[in-house]
Structure formats: structure tokens, C-alpha cells
Amino acid sequence: MAKKSSVEKNKQRRELVAQQAAKRAELKAIIKQKDIDDGDRFEAVLKLAELPRNGSKVRIRNRCEMTGRPRAYYRKLGLSRIALRDLASTGQIPGMVKSSW
């Protein structure tokens, strides 16, 4: 089980990203436009730099929904390999069986 503080910090980052997404997208669109005056583009860069760093999407860490484990994460299922195996072993995932050879 991951530390609760790490899991909570990641949840706060997700919320902040959701709040800041529109503002960040607008500023990035201004920065990418080449036909706008350089001064206006530079102001957009400065405004983007003033926004909180945790509002950036790349700061979010994928974590297991059950345990909070940050590694060995399956995006399709939202679980770590260990949680997936536990659920499969108890028969809670339809169609998944433990392999043996």
C-alpha cells in the first residue's frame, strides 16, 4: 500500500489539472501561433510560467485504484499487476484465469 500522502497529493494534482486545463490550452495556442506579435507571445509565455507547476498534465502519476502503487500499472484496467493478480485469483475478473504450464 502506498503512502496516503502520496495518493492524496496525486488527487490534488488531478483536480488542479482539471481546473487549469482550459487556461493552459489557451496560452499554449497563443504561444504556437507564429502570426501574432512576439511581445504578445512572450507575455503568454510569462503567464504560463506563473501558473502552478502541479497544474501541468505531465505531473500526474498513474497509480493503482486499489492500492495506490505507482509502478507496474495497467492503463486499461487502472490497476497494478499485483492487484490484478489478486482479483483474478479470487475469480472477480470475468474470463481471466491463472496460467499454468
Residue 83 neighbours by CB under 8 Å, 6+ apart: 64, 65, 66, 67, 69
Mean pLDDT for the stretch of residues 5-30: 94
In DSSP terms, 74 is beta-bridged to 79
pLDDT tens profile 44-65: 999 999 999 999 999 999 999 9
Task: Supply the mean pLDDT for the chain.
Answer: 92
**CB distance 74 to 67 below 8 Å:** no
- Determine what percent of the chain is predicted with pLDDT higher than 70: 100
The closest of 30, 25, 65 to 45, measured between CA atoms, is 30
